[in-house]
Chains A and B, each alone.
Chain A
Amino acid sequence: MATARSTNDLKFGQGKSLFAITILVLLFLHIPILILIFYSFNDSRFASHWGGFSLKWYYKIIDDDSLWLAVRNTIQVAIVSTIISTILGTLAAIGLHKFNFKFKDFFLNILYLPIIIPEVVMGLSMLILFVLFAIPLGLMTVTIAHITFSISFVVLIVLARLQSFDMTLEEAGADLGATQWQIFWKITFPNISSGIYAGALLALTLSIDDFLISFFTTGPGSTTLPLKIYAMIKFGITPEINAVSTILLISTTLILYFVGYFMNKGKKEGSAFLEI
Protein backbone atom coordinates (compact mmCIF):
# COMPACT_ATOMS: atom_id res chain seq x y z
CA MET A 1 0.00 0.00 0.00
CA ALA A 2 1.35 3.35 -0.97
CA THR A 3 1.64 5.63 1.97
CA ALA A 4 0.53 9.19 1.47
CA ARG A 5 3.52 11.43 1.24
CA SER A 6 3.53 14.57 3.30
CA THR A 7 2.46 17.62 1.34
CA ASN A 8 5.91 18.73 0.33
CA ASP A 9 7.99 15.58 0.45
CA LEU A 10 9.74 16.38 -2.79
CA LYS A 11 10.80 19.73 -1.37
CA PHE A 12 9.48 21.71 -4.30
CA GLY A 13 10.45 25.33 -4.12
CA GLN A 14 12.77 24.85 -1.17
CA GLY A 15 16.06 24.86 -3.12
CA LYS A 16 19.09 26.87 -1.99
CA SER A 17 18.88 29.39 -4.83
CA LEU A 18 15.21 30.14 -4.10
CA PHE A 19 16.10 30.58 -0.46
CA ALA A 20 18.84 33.03 -1.45
CA ILE A 21 16.44 35.01 -3.66
CA THR A 22 13.90 35.13 -0.83
CA ILE A 23 16.48 36.53 1.59
CA LEU A 24 17.67 39.08 -0.98
CA VAL A 25 14.13 40.28 -1.73
CA LEU A 26 13.34 40.59 1.98
CA LEU A 27 16.54 42.60 2.44
CA PHE A 28 15.54 44.79 -0.52
CA LEU A 29 12.18 45.45 1.16
CA HIS A 30 13.53 46.12 4.63
CA ILE A 31 16.99 47.66 4.32
CA PRO A 32 15.73 51.14 3.30
CA ILE A 33 13.59 51.28 6.44
CA LEU A 34 16.37 49.99 8.69
CA ILE A 35 18.77 52.56 7.24
CA LEU A 36 16.40 55.40 8.13
CA ILE A 37 16.12 54.14 11.69
CA PHE A 38 19.91 53.77 11.94
CA TYR A 39 20.63 57.27 10.65
CA SER A 40 17.99 58.87 12.85
CA PHE A 41 20.53 58.40 15.66
CA ASN A 42 23.38 59.86 13.62
CA ASP A 43 24.94 63.00 15.02
CA SER A 44 26.07 64.09 11.55
CA ARG A 45 23.74 65.77 9.11
CA PHE A 46 24.95 63.60 6.24
CA ALA A 47 23.95 60.02 5.70
CA SER A 48 27.44 59.10 4.56
CA HIS A 49 29.20 60.08 7.77
CA TRP A 50 28.56 58.42 11.07
CA GLY A 51 29.12 61.19 13.57
CA GLY A 52 28.37 59.12 16.63
CA PHE A 53 25.15 58.28 18.48
CA SER A 54 22.88 61.20 19.14
CA LEU A 55 19.25 61.94 19.95
CA LYS A 56 19.48 65.51 18.75
CA TRP A 57 17.11 65.03 15.78
CA TYR A 58 14.51 63.70 18.17
CA TYR A 59 14.88 66.76 20.40
CA LYS A 60 14.63 68.89 17.32
CA ILE A 61 11.34 67.41 16.14
CA ILE A 62 9.86 67.50 19.64
CA ASP A 63 10.34 71.28 19.53
CA ASP A 64 8.85 71.57 16.05
CA ASP A 65 5.39 73.06 16.62
CA SER A 66 4.33 72.76 12.98
CA LEU A 67 5.00 69.02 13.16
CA TRP A 68 2.80 68.65 16.23
CA LEU A 69 0.05 70.62 14.54
CA ALA A 70 0.30 68.22 11.58
CA VAL A 71 0.05 65.26 13.97
CA ARG A 72 -3.02 66.78 15.59
CA ASN A 73 -4.64 67.42 12.20
CA THR A 74 -3.89 63.88 11.08
CA ILE A 75 -5.45 62.36 14.18
CA GLN A 76 -8.51 64.60 13.91
CA VAL A 77 -9.08 63.76 10.24
CA ALA A 78 -8.43 60.06 10.87
CA ILE A 79 -10.87 59.76 13.77
CA VAL A 80 -13.73 61.65 12.10
CA SER A 81 -13.29 59.95 8.73
CA THR A 82 -13.00 56.51 10.32
CA ILE A 83 -16.22 56.92 12.32
CA ILE A 84 -18.26 58.21 9.38
CA SER A 85 -16.86 55.81 6.77
CA THR A 86 -17.35 52.85 9.11
CA ILE A 87 -21.00 53.77 9.72
CA LEU A 88 -21.71 54.38 6.03
CA GLY A 89 -19.76 51.30 4.95
CA THR A 90 -21.48 49.03 7.45
CA LEU A 91 -24.92 50.31 6.38
CA ALA A 92 -24.08 49.63 2.74
CA ALA A 93 -22.71 46.16 3.50
CA ILE A 94 -25.80 45.15 5.48
CA GLY A 95 -28.12 46.54 2.81
CA LEU A 96 -26.28 44.75 0.03
CA HIS A 97 -26.13 41.49 1.93
CA LYS A 98 -29.69 41.39 3.21
CA PHE A 99 -31.69 42.49 0.22
CA ASN A 100 -32.05 41.46 -3.36
CA PHE A 101 -33.08 44.18 -5.72
CA LYS A 102 -32.77 45.37 -9.28
CA PHE A 103 -29.28 46.37 -10.42
CA LYS A 104 -27.71 44.96 -7.26
CA ASP A 105 -24.58 43.98 -9.22
CA PHE A 106 -24.27 47.52 -10.44
CA PHE A 107 -24.32 48.84 -6.87
CA LEU A 108 -21.76 46.24 -5.84
CA ASN A 109 -19.46 47.07 -8.72
CA ILE A 110 -19.51 50.80 -7.97
CA LEU A 111 -17.69 49.97 -4.74
CA TYR A 112 -14.65 48.70 -6.61
CA LEU A 113 -14.19 51.94 -8.52
CA PRO A 114 -12.69 54.04 -5.69
CA ILE A 115 -10.21 51.21 -5.09
CA ILE A 116 -8.91 50.91 -8.65
CA ILE A 117 -9.16 54.49 -9.86
CA PRO A 118 -5.77 56.30 -9.94
CA GLU A 119 -5.44 58.40 -6.81
CA VAL A 120 -4.38 61.44 -8.82
CA VAL A 121 -7.67 61.38 -10.72
CA MET A 122 -9.76 60.80 -7.60
CA GLY A 123 -8.07 63.61 -5.69
CA LEU A 124 -8.24 66.11 -8.52
CA SER A 125 -11.86 65.33 -9.38
CA MET A 126 -12.78 66.09 -5.77
CA LEU A 127 -10.76 69.29 -5.96
CA ILE A 128 -12.86 70.28 -8.98
CA LEU A 129 -16.06 69.61 -7.03
CA PHE A 130 -14.95 71.62 -3.99
CA VAL A 131 -13.84 74.55 -6.12
CA LEU A 132 -16.98 74.47 -8.26
CA PHE A 133 -19.25 74.59 -5.21
CA ALA A 134 -16.97 77.08 -3.44
CA ILE A 135 -16.36 74.79 -0.49
CA PRO A 136 -13.28 76.19 1.29
CA LEU A 137 -10.35 73.78 1.17
CA GLY A 138 -9.14 72.65 4.56
CA LEU A 139 -9.41 69.85 7.08
CA MET A 140 -13.10 69.41 6.29
CA THR A 141 -12.51 68.74 2.60
CA VAL A 142 -9.64 66.37 3.45
CA THR A 143 -11.94 64.51 5.84
CA ILE A 144 -14.67 64.27 3.19
CA ALA A 145 -12.13 62.89 0.73
CA HIS A 146 -10.85 60.32 3.22
CA ILE A 147 -14.38 59.14 3.99
CA THR A 148 -15.01 58.74 0.26
CA PHE A 149 -12.03 56.49 -0.43
CA SER A 150 -12.45 54.49 2.82
CA ILE A 151 -16.13 53.51 2.42
CA SER A 152 -15.46 50.82 -0.20
CA PHE A 153 -12.80 49.11 1.91
CA VAL A 154 -15.13 49.03 4.92
CA VAL A 155 -18.02 47.63 2.85
CA LEU A 156 -15.91 44.84 1.36
CA ILE A 157 -14.51 43.75 4.73
CA VAL A 158 -17.89 43.85 6.49
CA LEU A 159 -19.49 42.01 3.53
CA ALA A 160 -16.87 39.27 3.90
CA ARG A 161 -17.78 38.94 7.57
CA LEU A 162 -21.53 38.91 6.80
CA GLN A 163 -21.01 35.99 4.45
CA SER A 164 -20.38 33.73 7.44
CA PHE A 165 -23.20 35.21 9.51
CA ASP A 166 -26.30 33.06 9.83
CA MET A 167 -29.14 35.35 8.75
CA THR A 168 -31.77 33.04 10.21
CA LEU A 169 -30.71 34.35 13.63
CA GLU A 170 -32.25 37.68 12.65
CA GLU A 171 -35.48 35.97 11.65
CA ALA A 172 -35.49 34.12 14.95
CA GLY A 173 -35.10 37.45 16.71
CA ALA A 174 -37.99 38.92 14.73
CA ASP A 175 -40.18 35.90 15.45
CA LEU A 176 -39.52 36.37 19.15
CA GLY A 177 -40.78 39.94 18.86
CA ALA A 178 -37.56 41.95 18.78
CA THR A 179 -37.69 45.32 17.07
CA GLN A 180 -35.42 46.18 14.12
CA TRP A 181 -33.21 48.17 16.44
CA GLN A 182 -32.95 45.35 18.97
CA ILE A 183 -32.21 42.85 16.21
CA PHE A 184 -29.35 44.96 14.98
CA TRP A 185 -27.72 45.70 18.34
CA LYS A 186 -28.35 42.33 20.00
CA ILE A 187 -27.90 39.93 17.10
CA THR A 188 -26.32 41.38 13.97
CA PHE A 189 -23.78 43.73 15.49
CA PRO A 190 -22.19 41.31 17.99
CA ASN A 191 -21.84 38.77 15.18
CA ILE A 192 -20.22 41.03 12.65
CA SER A 193 -18.43 43.38 15.05
CA SER A 194 -15.02 41.86 14.32
CA GLY A 195 -15.50 42.70 10.64
CA ILE A 196 -16.60 46.23 11.50
CA TYR A 197 -13.54 46.73 13.73
CA ALA A 198 -11.27 45.37 11.01
CA GLY A 199 -12.88 47.73 8.48
CA ALA A 200 -12.53 50.67 10.87
CA LEU A 201 -8.89 49.84 11.49
CA LEU A 202 -8.21 49.73 7.77
CA ALA A 203 -10.02 53.06 7.28
CA LEU A 204 -7.92 54.53 10.10
CA THR A 205 -4.62 53.38 8.61
CA LEU A 206 -5.61 54.49 5.12
CA SER A 207 -6.45 57.94 6.46
CA ILE A 208 -3.28 58.33 8.53
CA ASP A 209 -1.19 57.14 5.59
CA ASP A 210 -2.81 59.11 2.80
CA PHE A 211 -0.68 61.65 1.02
CA LEU A 212 -1.85 62.20 -2.53
CA ILE A 213 -5.58 62.74 -2.06
CA SER A 214 -4.91 65.00 0.94
CA PHE A 215 -2.35 66.86 -1.18
CA PHE A 216 -5.03 67.86 -3.69
CA THR A 217 -7.92 68.49 -1.30
CA THR A 218 -6.21 70.42 1.48
CA GLY A 219 -5.97 74.14 1.88
CA PRO A 220 -3.40 76.49 3.37
CA GLY A 221 -2.67 75.84 7.01
CA SER A 222 -4.31 72.40 7.05
CA THR A 223 -1.25 70.20 6.83
CA THR A 224 -1.46 66.54 7.79
CA LEU A 225 1.57 64.49 8.76
CA PRO A 226 2.19 62.90 5.33
CA LEU A 227 1.92 66.38 3.78
CA LYS A 228 4.41 67.68 6.33
CA ILE A 229 6.76 64.77 5.56
CA TYR A 230 6.46 65.55 1.85
CA ALA A 231 7.38 69.17 2.50
CA MET A 232 10.37 68.05 4.57
CA ILE A 233 11.52 65.73 1.78
CA LYS A 234 11.17 68.53 -0.76
CA PHE A 235 13.22 70.90 1.40
CA GLY A 236 15.77 68.18 2.07
CA ILE A 237 15.67 68.15 5.88
CA THR A 238 17.01 64.62 6.00
CA PRO A 239 17.83 63.80 9.64
CA GLU A 240 14.52 65.06 11.00
CA ILE A 241 12.62 62.88 8.52
CA ASN A 242 14.61 59.89 9.73
CA ALA A 243 13.58 60.62 13.31
CA VAL A 244 9.92 61.19 12.37
CA SER A 245 9.91 57.93 10.37
CA THR A 246 11.32 55.99 13.28
CA ILE A 247 8.74 57.35 15.71
CA LEU A 248 5.96 56.66 13.18
CA LEU A 249 7.19 53.13 12.58
CA ILE A 250 7.36 52.35 16.28
CA SER A 251 3.91 53.80 16.98
CA THR A 252 2.21 51.98 14.07
CA THR A 253 3.87 48.72 15.08
CA LEU A 254 2.71 49.15 18.67
CA ILE A 255 -0.84 50.13 17.67
CA LEU A 256 -1.20 47.25 15.23
CA TYR A 257 0.32 44.84 17.72
CA PHE A 258 -2.18 45.79 20.39
CA VAL A 259 -5.09 45.83 17.98
CA GLY A 260 -4.08 42.41 16.65
CA TYR A 261 -3.73 41.09 20.18
CA PHE A 262 -7.09 42.55 21.14
CA MET A 263 -8.82 41.13 18.08
CA ASN A 264 -7.26 37.69 18.36
CA LYS A 265 -8.44 37.57 21.94
CA GLY A 266 -11.98 38.25 20.76
CA LYS A 267 -12.42 36.43 17.51
CA LYS A 268 -10.01 35.18 14.93
CA GLU A 269 -10.66 37.56 12.11
CA GLY A 270 -7.21 38.58 10.92
CA SER A 271 -7.82 36.88 7.59
CA ALA A 272 -9.96 39.81 6.46
CA PHE A 273 -6.74 41.77 6.01
CA LEU A 274 -5.24 39.24 3.67
CA GLU A 275 -8.34 39.07 1.52
CA ILE A 276 -8.07 42.61 0.30
Chain B
Amino acid sequence: MSKNRQHIKILFLPYFWLFIFFILPLLIMFVYSFSQRGTYGGVKYIFTISNYINSFDPLYFKLFLRSLTYSFFSTLIALLIGYPIAYYIATSTAKIKAILIFLVILPFWTNFLIRIFSWIVILGTEGMVNDFLIWIGLVESPIELLFNDFSVMLGLVYGVLPYMILPIVASLDKLDKNLLEASVDLGANRFETFYKVTFPLSMQGVVTGIVFVFIPSLGQFVVPDILGGTSTYMIGNTISNQFITVRNWPFGSAMSMLLMLIVSITISLYIRYSKKKY
Protein backbone atom coordinates (compact mmCIF):
# COMPACT_ATOMS: atom_id res chain seq x y z
CA MET B 1 0.00 0.00 0.00
CA SER B 2 1.21 3.48 -0.77
CA LYS B 3 0.28 4.74 2.70
CA ASN B 4 3.02 2.64 4.25
CA ARG B 5 5.65 4.56 2.36
CA GLN B 6 4.36 8.03 3.11
CA HIS B 7 6.47 8.45 6.22
CA ILE B 8 9.61 7.81 4.16
CA LYS B 9 8.64 10.61 1.79
CA ILE B 10 8.22 13.17 4.56
CA LEU B 11 11.05 12.01 6.83
CA PHE B 12 13.64 11.47 4.11
CA LEU B 13 14.95 15.03 3.81
CA PRO B 14 15.37 15.90 7.51
CA TYR B 15 16.93 12.54 8.37
CA PHE B 16 19.11 12.60 5.27
CA TRP B 17 20.42 15.96 6.45
CA LEU B 18 21.04 14.68 9.97
CA PHE B 19 22.78 11.61 8.63
CA ILE B 20 25.12 13.53 6.33
CA PHE B 21 25.99 16.40 8.67
CA PHE B 22 25.63 14.85 12.11
CA ILE B 23 25.93 11.05 12.14
CA LEU B 24 28.47 10.72 9.33
CA PRO B 25 30.92 13.24 10.87
CA LEU B 26 30.80 11.32 14.15
CA LEU B 27 31.44 8.05 12.32
CA ILE B 28 34.42 9.57 10.53
CA MET B 29 35.68 10.87 13.87
CA PHE B 30 35.31 7.35 15.28
CA VAL B 31 37.41 5.96 12.42
CA TYR B 32 40.00 8.72 12.89
CA SER B 33 40.32 7.87 16.56
CA PHE B 34 41.70 4.46 15.53
CA SER B 35 43.97 5.89 12.83
CA GLN B 36 47.50 7.21 12.85
CA ARG B 37 48.67 10.74 12.56
CA GLY B 38 50.24 11.46 9.20
CA THR B 39 52.78 14.07 8.28
CA TYR B 40 51.63 17.71 8.18
CA GLY B 41 48.59 16.97 10.31
CA GLY B 42 47.10 14.43 7.93
CA VAL B 43 45.52 11.12 8.84
CA LYS B 44 46.88 7.67 7.93
CA TYR B 45 44.30 4.92 7.85
CA ILE B 46 46.35 2.35 9.73
CA PHE B 47 44.57 0.75 12.65
CA THR B 48 45.96 1.60 16.06
CA ILE B 49 44.65 1.94 19.59
CA SER B 50 47.59 4.11 20.66
CA ASN B 51 45.42 7.27 20.67
CA TYR B 52 43.28 5.76 23.39
CA ILE B 53 46.29 4.50 25.32
CA ASN B 54 47.86 7.97 25.11
CA SER B 55 44.69 9.51 26.50
CA PHE B 56 45.48 7.74 29.74
CA ASP B 57 48.97 9.16 29.84
CA PRO B 58 49.18 11.06 33.17
CA LEU B 59 49.48 14.35 31.28
CA TYR B 60 46.11 13.93 29.58
CA PHE B 61 44.43 11.78 32.18
CA LYS B 62 44.97 14.69 34.57
CA LEU B 63 42.84 16.81 32.22
CA PHE B 64 39.95 14.36 32.31
CA LEU B 65 40.24 14.23 36.07
CA ARG B 66 40.33 18.02 36.32
CA SER B 67 37.28 18.38 34.06
CA LEU B 68 35.39 15.84 36.13
CA THR B 69 36.40 17.59 39.36
CA TYR B 70 35.40 21.05 38.10
CA SER B 71 32.10 19.72 36.78
CA PHE B 72 31.41 17.82 39.98
CA PHE B 73 32.01 20.81 42.24
CA SER B 74 30.23 23.32 40.01
CA THR B 75 27.24 20.96 39.89
CA LEU B 76 27.32 20.61 43.67
CA ILE B 77 27.57 24.37 44.21
CA ALA B 78 24.83 25.01 41.65
CA LEU B 79 22.60 22.55 43.52
CA LEU B 80 23.36 24.09 46.91
CA ILE B 81 22.51 27.62 45.81
CA GLY B 82 19.96 26.63 43.15
CA TYR B 83 17.72 24.54 45.37
CA PRO B 84 16.85 27.27 47.92
CA ILE B 85 15.93 29.78 45.24
CA ALA B 86 13.95 27.13 43.33
CA TYR B 87 12.10 26.35 46.54
CA TYR B 88 11.36 30.01 47.12
CA ILE B 89 10.15 30.47 43.53
CA ALA B 90 7.95 27.35 43.58
CA THR B 91 6.19 28.40 46.78
CA SER B 92 5.59 32.00 45.67
CA THR B 93 2.25 33.28 44.42
CA ALA B 94 1.61 32.86 40.70
CA LYS B 95 2.46 36.46 39.85
CA ILE B 96 5.72 36.60 41.81
CA LYS B 97 6.62 33.17 40.46
CA ALA B 98 6.28 34.40 36.87
CA ILE B 99 8.46 37.42 37.58
CA LEU B 100 11.15 35.35 39.32
CA ILE B 101 11.27 32.74 36.55
CA PHE B 102 11.56 35.56 34.04
CA LEU B 103 14.48 37.00 36.01
CA VAL B 104 16.21 33.61 36.08
CA ILE B 105 15.85 33.22 32.28
CA LEU B 106 16.69 36.84 31.42
CA PRO B 107 20.52 36.46 31.51
CA PHE B 108 20.21 33.94 28.66
CA TRP B 109 19.31 36.84 26.42
CA THR B 110 22.87 38.05 26.69
CA ASN B 111 25.51 36.20 24.70
CA PHE B 112 27.36 33.64 26.84
CA LEU B 113 30.78 35.02 25.86
CA ILE B 114 29.77 38.46 27.06
CA ARG B 115 28.39 37.19 30.36
CA ILE B 116 31.59 35.28 31.04
CA PHE B 117 33.72 38.21 29.92
CA SER B 118 32.04 40.52 32.42
CA TRP B 119 33.76 38.55 35.19
CA ILE B 120 37.08 39.82 33.85
CA VAL B 121 35.81 43.35 34.39
CA ILE B 122 34.78 42.39 37.92
CA LEU B 123 37.72 40.22 38.98
CA GLY B 124 40.62 41.45 36.87
CA THR B 125 43.66 43.18 38.35
CA GLU B 126 42.17 46.49 37.22
CA GLY B 127 38.71 45.27 38.14
CA MET B 128 36.19 46.38 40.69
CA VAL B 129 36.85 43.78 43.39
CA ASN B 130 40.55 44.58 43.47
CA ASP B 131 39.82 48.28 43.55
CA PHE B 132 37.55 47.77 46.49
CA LEU B 133 40.08 45.62 48.34
CA ILE B 134 42.77 48.26 47.89
CA TRP B 135 40.39 51.04 48.89
CA ILE B 136 39.49 49.38 52.19
CA GLY B 137 43.18 48.68 52.72
CA LEU B 138 42.93 44.90 52.80
CA VAL B 139 45.60 44.49 50.13
CA GLU B 140 48.43 46.75 49.01
CA SER B 141 48.51 45.85 45.34
CA PRO B 142 46.00 44.03 43.13
CA ILE B 143 45.78 40.29 43.65
CA GLU B 144 45.19 37.79 40.85
CA LEU B 145 41.63 36.53 41.15
CA LEU B 146 41.45 35.24 37.58
CA PHE B 147 42.98 32.33 35.66
CA ASN B 148 42.72 29.86 38.53
CA ASP B 149 40.43 27.08 39.80
CA PHE B 150 38.24 29.61 41.56
CA SER B 151 37.51 31.79 38.53
CA VAL B 152 36.81 28.80 36.27
CA MET B 153 34.39 27.20 38.72
CA LEU B 154 32.72 30.56 39.33
CA GLY B 155 32.22 30.92 35.57
CA LEU B 156 30.87 27.38 35.30
CA VAL B 157 28.36 27.89 38.11
CA TYR B 158 27.37 31.28 36.73
CA GLY B 159 26.78 29.87 33.27
CA VAL B 160 24.75 26.84 34.27
CA LEU B 161 22.82 27.95 37.35
CA PRO B 162 19.49 28.56 35.56
CA TYR B 163 19.61 24.98 34.18
CA MET B 164 19.65 23.78 37.78
CA ILE B 165 16.96 26.14 39.07
CA LEU B 166 14.30 25.62 36.39
CA PRO B 167 13.86 21.80 36.57
CA ILE B 168 13.72 21.95 40.38
CA VAL B 169 11.05 24.66 40.22
CA ALA B 170 9.11 22.47 37.79
CA SER B 171 9.23 19.43 40.08
CA LEU B 172 8.40 21.41 43.24
CA ASP B 173 5.52 22.99 41.38
CA LYS B 174 3.91 19.59 40.84
CA LEU B 175 4.32 18.65 44.49
CA ASP B 176 1.01 18.26 46.30
CA LYS B 177 1.04 20.91 49.06
CA ASN B 178 -1.43 18.86 51.09
CA LEU B 179 1.35 16.38 51.76
CA LEU B 180 3.33 19.11 53.49
CA GLU B 181 0.38 20.02 55.65
CA ALA B 182 -0.24 16.38 56.46
CA SER B 183 3.37 16.10 57.53
CA VAL B 184 3.08 19.12 59.83
CA ASP B 185 -0.27 17.93 61.17
CA LEU B 186 1.34 14.62 62.04
CA GLY B 187 3.85 16.44 64.18
CA ALA B 188 6.88 16.79 61.94
CA ASN B 189 8.71 20.07 62.20
CA ARG B 190 9.68 22.10 59.14
CA PHE B 191 13.08 20.55 58.84
CA GLU B 192 11.76 17.00 59.07
CA THR B 193 9.05 17.85 56.54
CA PHE B 194 11.61 19.16 54.12
CA TYR B 195 14.01 16.30 54.65
CA LYS B 196 11.46 13.50 54.56
CA VAL B 197 8.73 14.82 52.26
CA THR B 198 9.67 17.78 50.10
CA PHE B 199 13.19 16.86 49.09
CA PRO B 200 12.51 13.21 48.15
CA LEU B 201 9.51 14.29 46.08
CA SER B 202 11.58 16.84 44.19
CA MET B 203 14.29 14.32 43.31
CA GLN B 204 13.26 14.09 39.64
CA GLY B 205 13.90 17.82 39.24
CA VAL B 206 17.14 17.63 41.19
CA VAL B 207 18.46 14.78 39.05
CA THR B 208 17.41 16.52 35.82
CA GLY B 209 19.12 19.68 37.03
CA ILE B 210 22.28 17.77 37.86
CA VAL B 211 22.40 16.25 34.37
CA PHE B 212 21.62 19.60 32.68
CA VAL B 213 24.45 21.20 34.60
CA PHE B 214 27.03 18.42 34.67
CA ILE B 215 27.07 17.66 30.94
CA PRO B 216 27.54 21.22 29.63
CA SER B 217 30.18 21.82 32.32
CA LEU B 218 32.12 18.75 31.30
CA GLY B 219 32.46 19.81 27.67
CA GLN B 220 33.06 23.48 28.45
CA PHE B 221 35.40 25.42 26.24
CA VAL B 222 34.52 29.09 26.69
CA VAL B 223 34.75 29.39 30.49
CA PRO B 224 38.25 27.89 30.94
CA ASP B 225 39.37 29.66 27.78
CA ILE B 226 38.35 33.13 28.97
CA LEU B 227 38.51 32.92 32.76
CA GLY B 228 41.25 30.29 33.02
CA GLY B 229 44.81 29.72 31.93
CA THR B 230 46.77 26.72 30.71
CA SER B 231 46.77 25.32 34.24
CA THR B 232 42.96 25.19 34.25
CA TYR B 233 42.35 23.76 30.78
CA MET B 234 39.55 21.24 30.54
CA ILE B 235 38.97 18.40 28.05
CA GLY B 236 37.16 20.72 25.63
CA ASN B 237 40.15 23.04 25.40
CA THR B 238 42.58 20.17 24.95
CA ILE B 239 40.51 18.54 22.21
CA SER B 240 40.25 21.87 20.41
CA ASN B 241 43.99 22.35 20.86
CA GLN B 242 44.75 18.94 19.33
CA PHE B 243 42.69 19.82 16.27
CA ILE B 244 43.57 23.47 15.73
CA THR B 245 47.12 23.94 17.04
CA VAL B 246 48.84 20.57 17.40
CA ARG B 247 46.97 19.17 14.40
CA ASN B 248 46.90 15.65 15.79
CA TRP B 249 43.39 14.82 14.64
CA PRO B 250 43.42 11.10 15.52
CA PHE B 251 44.37 11.89 19.11
CA GLY B 252 41.80 14.71 19.34
CA SER B 253 39.21 12.28 17.93
CA ALA B 254 40.05 9.65 20.54
CA MET B 255 39.65 12.18 23.34
CA SER B 256 36.33 13.32 21.82
CA MET B 257 35.13 9.72 21.84
CA LEU B 258 36.13 9.35 25.50
CA LEU B 259 34.29 12.58 26.35
CA MET B 260 31.22 11.24 24.56
CA LEU B 261 31.57 8.00 26.51
CA ILE B 262 31.44 9.86 29.83
CA VAL B 263 28.43 11.87 28.61
CA SER B 264 26.68 8.66 27.46
CA ILE B 265 27.26 6.98 30.81
CA THR B 266 25.80 10.00 32.60
CA ILE B 267 22.76 10.05 30.31
CA SER B 268 22.10 6.32 30.61
CA LEU B 269 22.28 6.55 34.40
CA TYR B 270 19.78 9.40 34.18
CA ILE B 271 17.43 7.44 31.92
CA ARG B 272 17.64 4.41 34.19
CA TYR B 273 16.82 6.61 37.19
CA SER B 274 13.89 8.28 35.39
CA LYS B 275 12.44 4.93 34.29
CA LYS B 276 12.65 3.57 37.83
CA LYS B 277 10.53 6.47 39.04
CA TYR B 278 7.57 5.80 36.77
Note whether A and B form a binding pair: yes
A88 to B82 Cα, complex, angstroms: 36
- Select A118's contact among B91, B101, B219, beta carbons within 8 Å: B219
Across the interface, do B267 and A116 meet the contact criterion of CB distance under 8 Å? yes
Q: Does B252 contact A (CB under 8 A)?
A: yes
Contacts of B136 on A, CB cut-off 8 Å? Answer: none
Chain B residue total in the interface (Cβ 8 A): 88
Contacts of B177 on A, CB cut-off 8 Å? Answer: 7-8, 12
Q: Does A91 contact B (CB under 8 A)?
A: yes
Across the interface, do B25 and A233 meet the contact criterion of CB distance under 8 Å? no
Q: Does B147 contact A (CB under 8 A)?
A: no
Across the interface, do B14 and A91 meet the contact criterion of CB distance under 8 Å? yes
Contacts of B90 on A, CB cut-off 8 Å? Answer: 13
A244 to B113 Cα, complex, angstroms: 12
Interface string of B184-209 (1 = CB under 8 A from A): 10000010010000100000000000
State the majority secondary structure of interface residues on A.
helix
* Surface stretch bound by B, among A51-59, A164-172, A245-253: A245-253
Across the interface, do B219 and A121 meet the contact criterion of CB distance under 8 Å? yes
Across the interface, do A22 and B111 meet the contact criterion of CB distance under 8 Å? no
Across the interface, do A125 and B17 meet the contact criterion of CB distance under 8 Å? no
Across the interface, do A48 and B109 meet the contact criterion of CB distance under 8 Å? no
- Determine how close the nearest CB of chain B comes to the CB of A118; give it in whole angstroms: 3
Across the interface, do B256 and A252 meet the contact criterion of CB distance under 8 Å? no
Query: A25's closest neighbor in chain B, by CB?
Result: B85
Across the interface, do A238 and B26 meet the contact criterion of CB distance under 8 Å? no
Known: A13-B88, A46-B126. Contact between A118 and B218, CB under 8 A?
yes
Give me 5 other A-B pairs in contact (C-beta within 8 A), A19-B88, A25-B84 excluded.
A33-B110, A33-B115, A48-B126, A110-B18, A226-B111
Which residues on B are within 8 Å of A, measured CB to CB? 4, 6-7, 10-11, 13-15, 17-18, 21-26, 28-29, 32, 81-82, 84-85, 87-93, 100-101, 103-104, 106-107, 109-115, 117-122, 124, 126-128, 130-131, 158, 161-162, 165-166, 170, 177, 180-181, 184, 190, 193, 198, 215-216, 218-219, 221-222, 226, 236, 239-240, 243-244, 249, 252-253, 256, 259-260, 263, 267
